[in-house]
Amino acid sequence: MNKKADALRITPRSESHPDWYQDVVREGQLAEAAEIVKGAMVIKPHGYAVWEKIQGELDRRFKATGHKNAYFPLLIPESFLKKEAEHVEGFSPELAVVTVAGGQELEEKYVIRPTSETVIGHFFAQWIQSWRDLPLLINQWANVVRWELRPRLFLRTTEFLWQEGHTAHASHEEAKEEVLRMLDVYADFAEDFMAMPVIRGEKTASEKFAGAVTTFCIEAMMQDGKALQAGTSHDLGQNFGKAFNVRFQNEQGELDYVWQTSWGVSTRLIGGLVMTHSDDNGLVLPPKLAPIHAVIVPFFRKNADENARVREAGAELARALEAEGLTVKFDDRDGAPGPKFFENERLGVPLRFGLGPRDLVERQLEFKRRDQSEKRSIPLDGAAKFAKEALADMQQELFRRALARREANTVRVDDYDDFLDLMKSERDSESKFVFAHWDGTPETEAKVKAETKATIRCIPLPGQGFEAEPGTCMVTKKPSAQRVIWAKSY
């Protein structure tokens, strides 16, 4: 390894997971810390392209389930936040507040939205009169600000991008269906597009959204075994309906408060993507979210005619790949192929083709998949079809590996001493999900958190291989209806 390679080194994951993460994000050209504001980040073009892929697919799914996009104000009167007691209590510590505008001290301060339940409640109250106005199904793509004491790129930044769905329904039953429907949309998206297996579950009281009746979530395991909350869906009951007087007349002519939901995923997903698939060579992107599917690297020599033929063959291959629906980069910049290989690997480009004079003679080309270590030769004819199949295979393979890793790192524990030993003995790079019984009290949860830093990530929903079985709490030995997922988390 020469000086250049040394300077561009990515810290091996086994050495330091946090350093590895930072290096992969930087070298993958996803984002960088905007050091002008604490905790702010610049999402760079390649990172934003991934976000656009995420947005595009989710937006399609939201619309397919009947939602419409809208946009609400960034600034919210402070009094709005205070209308829902639990909500304001939960968010107060992380609010950024505008006190001066137009050169004058404001009569009433504005908070920069940390989320939009309150401002949307205000408008829903104006838009909804009758049961015929329901359900009202709205989504907003927006930025929000939550002042963070300890930021990390994508995972926790002061300002982040997200979508927030907000719906109003005539019955609690219908609202609950919506909450689980959107949770399933998230789970399916995470597994099918991000190739990131998730566990759908319910949050405990201490982890639920401030102002919600119930919070559901999808939780994923990162490569260091820690949990990442990748999306949430809330049953808001009538809490905000009452706070903002969102009432409707039902079919019997009686006035009632609407039943609301809200649900969101954010740019945090990109952090999850990185920590699920990437390796010591940099970013690995699942094909369905890769802005570039394939890169073609030409091998040039001295002979100008020969180079012209290589260039032509490369362009032709690019056209063939594009005809199969792939996004292709023909990397014919000056310079040796080696640095191009490394750069494209770090960008997470799933497929790479190498093409030189030798290949043209033999009607073949060099092929390498980002998730495999060996390169191989394949016939030039039919390369585009081959590529398309390779992408589909890689998408599945990434999911399969991530799922296998999660299963290998999920353990059942019945005895609290065993739990303590496990949490103490694990190194930072090899944490685990622990499936264990809990007596259902916040006190027990708090005790475990204080002693081990592990929390209940969720109470898993049925149908995911974590079926309910009664038992006794690992800490207090009191009765427990089912096991829950314990883990350290981001």
Partner RNA sequence: CGGGGUGUAGCUCAGUUUGGCUAGAGCGCUUGGUUCGGGAUCAAGAGGUCGUAGGUUCAAAUCCUAUCACCCCGACCA
| Footprint of RNA (CB under 7 A) | 1-5, 7-9, 18, 33, 35-39, 93-94, 146, 148-152, 155-158, 160, 206-207, 209, 217, 229, 231-232, 264, 266-268, 281, 299-302, 334-339, 341-343, 345-346, 352, 354-359, 365-366, 368, 375, 453
Side chain identity at 349, as an amino acid letter? Answer: V
CB of 89 to RNA, least distance (A): 10
Helix (H) or strand (E) holding 390: helix 383-408
Q: Can you tell me the distance from the alpha carbon of 181 to that of 185, in angstroms, rounded to the nearest whole number?
A: 6
CB of 469 to RNA, least distance (A): 28
Given the complex with RNA, which of 28 and 264 has the nearer CB atom? Answer: 264
Q: Can you tell me the distance from the alpha carbon of 147 to that of 159, in angstroms, rounded to the nearest whole number?
A: 8
CB of 121 to RNA, least distance (A): 18
Helix (H) or strand (E) holding 391: helix 383-408
> What CA–CA distances, in Å, run from 8 to 17, 18, 42, 331?
17, 17, 21, 20
Q: Give me 256's structure tokens.
A: 């009632």
Given the complex with RNA, which of 346 and 437 has the nearer CB atom? Answer: 346
CB of 109 to RNA, least distance (A): 19
**Residue 206 DSSP one-character state:** G
CB of 232 to RNA, least distance (A): 5
Alpha carbon 232 to its chain centroid, in Å, reads 11
Helix (H, G, I), strand (E, B) or coil at 135: coil
Given the complex with RNA, which of 149 and 408 has the nearer CB atom? Answer: 149
CB of 126 to RNA, least distance (A): 27
Q: Can you tell me the distance from the alpha carbon of 165 to that of 207, in angstroms, rounded to the nearest whole number?
A: 20
Given the complex with RNA, which of 329 and 437 has the nearer CB atom? Answer: 329
Residue environment code for 409-434, b if the CB has 16+ CB neighbours within 10 A, otherwise e = bbeebeebeebbebbeebeebebbbb
CB of 156 to RNA, least distance (A): 4
Given the complex with RNA, which of 1 and 64 has the nearer CB atom? Answer: 1
- Which residues fall within 8 angstroms of residue 419, CB to CB, at 6 or more apart? 413, 434, 436, 448, 452, 474, 486
Given the complex with RNA, which of 77 and 337 has the nearer CB atom? Answer: 337
Given the complex with RNA, which of 348 and 354 has the nearer CB atom? Answer: 354
Query: Is residue 449 a contact partner of residue 455, using CB atoms and an 8 Å limit?
Result: yes
Given the complex with RNA, which of 130 and 143 has the nearer CB atom? Answer: 143
CB atoms within 10 A of CB 42: 13
CB of 230 to RNA, least distance (A): 7
